[in-house]
C-alpha cells in the first residue's frame, strides 16, 4: 500500500519517518518531494580507461561542490552522481521508491538508473542520485531544486533483517553526500 499525505505527515510528526530538512509544501498527495544537494561525483574520463566493478579506484571519480547561486551543468549523454539535500530514515516496516519529477523528465533528466529503492530500516542518510541527461541540450541542475519524489510503501510485516543488519553487509549505512559504488565489496560469484 502506498502512503497518503495524511499518513506521511503523521509518521513524520511521530518521528517514525524522517525527512530532514523538510518544508510542509514538500508533502504531496502520495509522496514527498526531495531537493538536490550541492555535491556531485563525476567520472575522471582523462585518468580512467575502464570501469571494473570489482576494483576500487580512488581516481575513478572526483567530487565537485557547487557554490551558492551556481548551477551544475549536465551535458547530453553525461552521467554523474548527486545527492538529496534531505536525510531519510525509514522504520523496519516501510520502503521508499525514488522517482523523478515529471516536469524534469520532460526536459530529459533522469534521476536514477537502477537505484530507485530505499530499504526498510534505512538509517538517516542522504540518497545518492544517478543523474543522466538524455536530452540533446545541457541541463542546469540547481542545488535546492526539487528534483525527485519519494513514495512510501508498507510491508506486510516488519523486515526481519532491515538494512544495516550485520548479516547483510549493507554498504551505504548513514551516507552523506553522493557516495560512489561499493560493488567491489561483493563476493565474486
Which positions are annotated as active-site residues?
A: 130
123 annotated ligand-binding residue: no
121 annotated ligand-binding residue: no
151 annotated ligand-binding residue: no
Cα–Cα distance, 164 to 177 (Å, whole number) = 18
171 annotated ligand-binding residue: yes
104 annotated ligand-binding residue: yes
94 annotated ligand-binding residue: no
Cell of 75: 551535458
Q: How many residues does this entry show for the chain?
A: 189
97 annotated ligand-binding residue: no
154 annotated ligand-binding residue: no
CA distances from 76 to 21, 87, 91 (A): 31, 29, 38
Whether residue 114 contacts residue 81, with contact meaning beta carbons closer than 8 Å, is answered with no
Closest-CA residue to 70 (of 8, 122, 142):
142
Closest-CA residue to 10 (of 174, 159, 152, 163):
152
Which residues make up each annotated binding site for dCTP?
101-106, 119, 128-130, 149, 163, 171, 175
Detail the residues annotated as belonging to a binding site.
Answer: 101-106, 119, 128-130, 149, 163, 171, 175
Amino acid at each position: 500500500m502506498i502512503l497518503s499525505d495524511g499518513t506521511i505527515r503523521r509518521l513524520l510528526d511521530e518521528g517514525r519517518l524522517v525527512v530532514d530538512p523538510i518544508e510542509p509544501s514538500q508533502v504531496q498527495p502520495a509522496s514527498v518531494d526531495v531537493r538536490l544537494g550541492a555535491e556531485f561525483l563525476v567520472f575522471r574520463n582523462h585518468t580512467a580507461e575502464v570501469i571494473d566493478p570489482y576494483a576500487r579506484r580512488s581516481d575513478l571519480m572526483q567530487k565537485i561542490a557547487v557554490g551558492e547561486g551556481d548551477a551544475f551543468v549536465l551535458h547530453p549523454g553525461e552521467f554523474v552522481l548527486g545527492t538529496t539535500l534531505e536525510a531519510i530514515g525509514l522504520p523496519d516496516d516501510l520502503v521508499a521508491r525514488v522517482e523523478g519529477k515529471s516536469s524534469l523528465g520532460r526536459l530529459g533528466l533522469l534521476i536514477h538508473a537502477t537505484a530507485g529503492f530505499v530499504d526498510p530500516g534505512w538509517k538517516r542518510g542522504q540518497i545518492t542520485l544517478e543523474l543522466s541527461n538524455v536530452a540533446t541540450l545541457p541541463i542546469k541542475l540547481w542545488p535546492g531544486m526539487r528534483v525527485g519524489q519519494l513514495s512510501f510503501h508498507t510491508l506486510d510485516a516488519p523486515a526481519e533483517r532491515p538494512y544495516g543488519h550485520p548479516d547483510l553487509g549493507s554498504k551505504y549505512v548513514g551516507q552523506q553526500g553522493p557516495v560512489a559504488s561499493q560493488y567491489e565489496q561483493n563476493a565474486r560469484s
